[in-house]
Structure formats: structure tokens, C-alpha cells
Amino acid sequence: MRQNCLFMKRYLLCLLAAWFATSCMQPAFAHGGVVEEDDLCVIKVNYLRGHFKIYQPLIDGHKEYCEDLPNATESVFVMEYLHDSLATAAVDFRIIRDVTGKGRFARWEDVAEIEDIDAVTVFYREPTIDPDVLMVIHDFQEEGHFIGVVTANVDGDETIYRAVFPFEVGYTGFGFWPVIIVLLLAIQFQYFVMSGRLKRWRARSVVAAILLILALPVTDATAEEWVSKRNIYEVSYESSIDPIAINRMHHWVLTITSDGQPVTGADIDVSGGMPAHDHGMPTRPRVTAELGEGRYRLEGLRFHMNGRWEMSIEIEANGRRDTVVIVLDL
Amino acid sequence: MNKIIYWVVVLATIVLSVAASRIWPPPGDNWSDAEKVLLQSLWLGSLPDLPPDPTNAVADDPRAAKFGHELFFSTDLSPSKQISCATCHRPELRFTDGMRKGRGVGESKRNTRSIVGSVYSPWQYWDGRRDSQWSQALSPIEDPAEHGGSREHAVNAVASNRQFRKQYEALFGTVPNLDDERNVNEMFANIGKALAAYERLILPGPSRFDDYVAAVLADDADQVAELYDDDERAGLRLFIGKAACTQCHNGPLFTNDEFHNTGVLSSPGEVPDKGRAAGVRLVLEDPFNCKGDYSDAATHACPELEFARSGFEVLGAFRTPSLRNLEKTQPYMHKGQMYTLAEVLEHYNEAPFAMIGHNEAKPLGLNATELTQLEAFLNSLAAPIAVAPKWLVPPPVADQQGTGQ
């Protein structure tokens, strides 16, 4: 009897926790429009995903909002594509006053029921293909509840993908959000631990450290020959300007060998950048000619900053692919 | 007893601080060899000779410069006869206009950039949508907010003006039949080439900074001490060091002429500007680019165009401006978003996330004193333009035609 009671108590507690969790989660996921993932607001237009953010630059400068906006003022909506198809899709953008009575739970079905959607539309942008980023600006004249509807038509396909996101303008309260964020963080953390990512992450840093130590002799500035990661190729280069100066367009001649033998007919892909500054090269250099005896002309090089640059040269010849990283200190 | 200990401590402190200051003197004017190399790279004395422009056959023809000078100040190229190049590129403001955005017939989309030293850049405009001074010069003529005209109007304006026609024909041969589109384009391009021959001459002069570097390089201690005060010296040290300004503002013109997203806020009433991401598409399509039919360059001699970078990496990126004309070129940034240097420095100190794309700059963590020192240094870059005064005023012939205003 006593054991039974304990069991019931536990059962009830679990039930309560489950109910609490699901009831709180609902606002975050119900409309399927904008959700928080890894500190980003992500909009899901069906399977197409975008990084979604809203600004009120006149009042809040660079502050980013996900959905609810504190002020009725000029607001800039930005959607950066996380899926390439969005860059070629005709995307329209509509903001309507929320007349569905569903508030945060409004879905497309509710919006579709509105008889005269134009009458409640406060902003509409015609379907437009934008290869870079979706941006619209709207000056809200009044506070209240609104619904954003983004539709995407991919490649003139019949299918139309939609995202519906209810939001509030003049929003001051915190509502459910703090609870949801804590819950999401907890779930995220648990996932992180459970999925073995933590271990993998640890393992990766160990591997990276070992690689770094192994790479140290290779990155010796005095070394003329650079060895590829899997020791397949040796690469050296000769620059058309010596020493290499910043802001000057120039070219290199690469000499590629494998076990000391020249490598001919290689496919070479070159990229470069400054790891310390998270940016690549100002140009897109490429190999323009094979000069024989394992020599290749690499054109279109320009470095625009002093500091450490890394040039990653991917070589594929006779079915063997490997990458060599050349480090330059300018 | 306590008194003795007290005095021992005081004496020891004094002795130690004197010794420390001997061993580690305050940086002051003691520049390391590496720093001297960096200072020399920023020095105007390091500016290379005027680069040749293979796309413009008349670039270095003095007759073209004279003709270009007249065209620059002439309002004939605008149908309203109100607008000249000098409307926005005012010589007394280092060839800018003091406004947030340029204003011709209407309001243009961006802040007016200076012409001073622009001959050294592979790209023109904030987004590099033109790749030579001459092709840039054509763009305002057809911009509905600037000259508000057309190429047809421009070529006819030159053909029907006796002075202009004479100069044009001496340089480029007889004015062709203007019913033909290709001929119109050709003549239009030539007008740009004459304008560029003039603009090439607009170069910056030496500033107090350049005198200071010359003194440092010559080890002239007296001059070094006299030319810079403590704030300017500290500002320069920050500029080439902790503040990381030379990442982009490098070389004798204090610019790498490259495109960077630095997270500047959008302009009121507008969505964020895509900058280079859109500019690179425009320059590749431009019929007046280096590879186009109207360029005088031999084919395949356009590495900048051929290897230009595009895509997300240059979204919201704008071309680094020179810092040599700051005293007269405010407001700053691509839409003139900022009026003072203090605002600009505060922005870079903070380095907020960009509205679109990715802000390359990192927060600097500078304190208020350091920001003031940087500003003091930047102000020491002020200098007049190094060009004969006659080029900075409307030419006499333009005055006679009443087009100088």
C-alpha cells in the first residue's frame, strides 16, 4: 500500500512536469514560423530555412529582435538564407493585423479563412527574387497584434511554401519566453551530453592540438617546400613579386611534386584567408595554366592586410586528393 | 624604529621607479624598427608614381586634362543646365559635398566620395561598381538623381559647343555620326576619359603626419618632439597597434581599396545597403568596364575584374575610404550616417553585429582617453590638395559661358 502510494506520487509528479513542459513549449513551436536555435532566430518556410531578424534602427540601433517588437516605429525585417533555394525563389512578404483571434497560436489555416486579406494587410511586398538576402522595411503606425506571412515559390514550381509568424508590436512583457529559453537551454545541454557531442568536441580538440603540433614544423617560415596534410604532395611557390607586398595583384608559379616526382594534370582549387579575422581573400585566385614539369600558374592573388594569411591548395591528381596549407606572414 | 622603516620604503620606491623608467622608458617617440617600417608604409613619400591607365589612351595627355577640367565644371552635360561634376565634388571640401547623400537633380543613394587620390584605386564608388576613373565619370551623367541626363544628351552637348568640339576632335578625331548607338557610346566613353585625365591630377599633399614620419626616419629628435604632442603620438601608436586600424587603412593613402563589412547601421527609411555584393555584379556587367568594347586595354589585361570576389562574404561590404581628408569630408560612411570622428571611433570600438552579412571588425576595448588620442592623431592627417590652384577653380572658358556655378 505504502509502495503503491509512492508510485502514484511519482507518477503524478511526472505527469505534472510533462504537462508543464508541453504547455510552455507550445507558444514556441505552435506556429512553426520563427524559432530560436543556437542563439539565432530561424524562420522555417517549410523545409527552407532562413536566419530571421528584425531591427528598429531609429530607436534601438543594432539591437536584434526575433518576433515581438517593443515600439511602433520603422522596422527592418531581414532574412538571410540558410538554404540556397531561397536565393532563386520568388518570395513575398505580408504583414496583416491579427484578426484571427488566435493570437500566438495563429496558423496558416486561420489566416486563409480571412475573407478580405487586403483589408487587414498593413504591408505587402510583391514576390521578388533576391539572390543575396531578403529585406523589407515597414513603419508601424500603431501598436498591436500582427501576423507575418512569408511565401516562397521555388523555381516557378507549383508548390508554395509558407511561414506564418504572429508577433506583437509594443511588446513589453516577458511572457513565457524566459521559461522557454531555460527549458530549451536545458534540452540543448542534455542533447549535447547525450548525443556524445561533448565527447566528440573534446576528442576533436585533442586531434586539433595534435595536428597543430604536427603542423608546426611544416609551418616553419623558412621552409620552402610545403607538405600536404596526408603527405601525398610537396608544394613550393615562386611569387611574381618578391617580397610579397600587400594590395598588389600578382601571380605565383606553384611546383607540385609527389615523392619528388613532378605531378602533372592536377586539378587545383585555391582558397585563402586570414584565420584571425574570419575573412577570405579580396580576390578569387585560380590556376590558369599548367606550365609542365609539375608547374602551374596561379593568378589573381592580392592580399589586402598585413598579418598571417593561410592559402589552402587542394590538389587532385591520379585520383588522389590532398590539401596543402601555405602560411604567409605579411 | 617605525620611522626608519618608513624612510627605507620611501627611498626604495624612489630608487626602483627611477631604475624602472631607465629600463622601460615610456614608449613616446621610440619607435621600434618594425614600427618604423609600418610608419614608412603609411608615409606619403611612399606613394608610388601615378599608375598608368591602360584602359584610357588619353589619360596622360595634357590636352585631355584641360578638356576634362572644363567638362568637370560645366553644367552643359546636364539637361537642366544646373548640375556639374563640381556640384557634388566641391574642390574646397576636398571634392566632397558635406552632405549625408549627394544631391544633384534629386538625392542620390549614397554619400559622395572624394576624388583625391582615387586614381590609385582599382575600384570606384563605395561598392566598386565601376573599375576606372573614366567609367565612373560617366555614371552620374545618367543618374536620374545626379545630372539627370543621358549619354545622347551629353555627346550632343559636346558636339554642339564650339570650344568642346574643337578639343574633342583634337584628341579623338572627328565627331562621328551620332545616330549610331555604338558611336554615341564611343563618344560618351571618350568624354569620361577626358574627365579622368583631369581627375588623375587630384592628389593629396603632405600632412603633419608625413613631416613627423620624415623626422622619425631621419632620427631628427628636435623635429620629432615638436611635430606631435603626446596625444597624437599615443593616437598613432594605437592606430598601428591596439586599434588595428591598419588592417584596412593601410598604405600611403590609408586605404587598401578593398571591401569590408563593418556593421554600420542602415540609413533611416531604407533597408540595409548590400554594398559590394550588388556592386560586383554591376561592374561585371558594365559595358564600360576594363574588358568592354570601349576600353583601350588589350584584352585579358583586367585581372581585377577577372578575379573579383562575390557572394555572401561581400554582402554589406563597402570600399575602405582614405583617411587623408577627414577634416573636410564629413559626414562619414556610405550613407553619411555619422557626422563626427568620435561617432566613427565609438562604432569601431563597439563593433556591433552587422544587420546583413558579417561584421569583420572586432570590439577594441579602448577607453575614452584612447579614443581621444586616436581622434587627435587622425586630425593630424589634414592637408591641402597637392595640385596647382588653377585646377581647383572653374576654368576661365567655363566662366565665359556662365556655367561656372
In the numeric block, the cell 547601421 is attached to B265
Residue-level pLDDT at A213: 59
Q: Residue written as cell 542533447?
A: A191
Segments in chain B below pLDDT 50:
398-405
Of residues A86 and B398, more confidence is placed in A86
pTM, two decimals, is 0.79
Is pLDDT of A256 > 80?
Answer: yes
Three-state DSSP string of B27-79: CCCCCCHHHHHHHHHHCHHHCCCCCCCCCCCCCCCHHHHHHHHHHHHCCCCCC
Mutation site, B348, B355, B362, interface A, largest A CB count within 10 A: B355
The pLDDT value given to residue A30: 31
Give the separation between CA B155 and CA B188, rounded to whole angstroms. Answer: 6
The answer to whether the Cβ–Cβ distance between B268 and A74 falls below 8 Å is yes
pLDDT averaged over every residue in chain A = 81
The strand pairing partners of B259, in sequence order, are B319
Residue A80 has pLDDT above 70, yes or no: yes
Check pLDDT > 60 for residue A29: no
If one compares B25 and A315, the residue with the highest pLDDT of the two is A315
Cα A134 to Cα A43, A50, A76, A131, A189, distances in angstroms: 12, 9, 10, 8, 32
Give ∠ CA A314-A317-A323 in degrees, rounded to 5.
20
Query: Residue B400: what pLDDT?
Result: 46
CA distances from B261 to A193, A262, A278, A304, B319 (A): 36, 42, 12, 14, 9
Cell digits for A217?
614544423
Per-residue model confidence (pLDDT) at position A217: 43
Spatial separation of the C-alpha atoms in residues B162 and B9, rounded to whole Å? 90
CA distance A150 to A153: 10
Query: How far, in whole angstroms, is CA A320 from its chain's centroid?
Result: 31
In terms of Cα–Cα distance, which of B124, B319, B257, B322 is closest to A302?
Answer: B257
Mean pLDDT throughout A165-176? 76
The length of chain B is 405
Residue A166, all three cell numbers: 504572429
Tell me whether residues B265 and A61 touch, CB distance under 8 A: yes
Q: How many contiguous H segments (helices) and E segments (strands) does chain B have? A: 16, 2
d(CA A226, CA B403): 64
Pairwise CB contact (< 8 Å): B358 & A278: yes
Q: Residue A76 pLDDT more than 90?
A: yes
Give percent of chain A with pLDDT exceeding 70.
79
pLDDT at A3 over 80: no
ipTM for the complex shown: 0.85
Query: Hey, which of A105-119, A171-185, A290-304, B181-195 has the most confident mean pLDDT?
Result: B181-195
CA atoms within 13 A on the CB side of A219: 16
With cell 573636410, the residue in question is B328
H-helix or E-strand containing A129?
A: strand A121-129
Q: Which residue of B has its CA nearest to A82?
A: B312
Per-residue model confidence (pLDDT) at position A185: 84
Distance CA A294, CA A296 (A): 7
- Cell digits for B20? 624602472
Q: Does residue A158 or residue B327 have the better pLDDT? A: B327
Is B126 near chain A, with CB under 8 Å?
no
Q: What is the mean pLDDT of residues A60-74?
A: 92
Contact (CB<8Å) B360/A278? yes
Question: Cα(B102)–Cα(B93) distance, rounded to whole angstroms?
Answer: 13
**B38 φψ region: left (φ > 0), alpha (ψ -120 to 50), beta (else):** alpha
Q: Average pLDDT for residues A249-272, to the nearest whole number?
A: 92
What pLDDT shows up at residue A278?
Answer: 72
> What distance lies between CA A294 and its chain's CA centroid?
38
Judging contacts by C-beta atoms under 8 Å, the chain B residues touching residue A78 are 271-272, 355-356
What pLDDT, in 10s, does the model give residues B200-237? 999 999 999 999 999 999 999 999 999 999 999 999 99
Region of poorest pLDDT, from A32-46, A128-142, A227-241, B156-170: A32-46
User: What are the pLDDT digits (tens) for A174-216?
Assistant: 555 666 777 788 877 777 777 767 677 777 777 777 666 555 4
Average pLDDT score over residue span A107-111:
91
User: Which residue among A57, A132, A302 sits closest to B315, beta carbon to beta carbon?
Assistant: A132
Q: How confident is the model at residue A221 (pLDDT cuts 50, 70, 90)?
A: very low
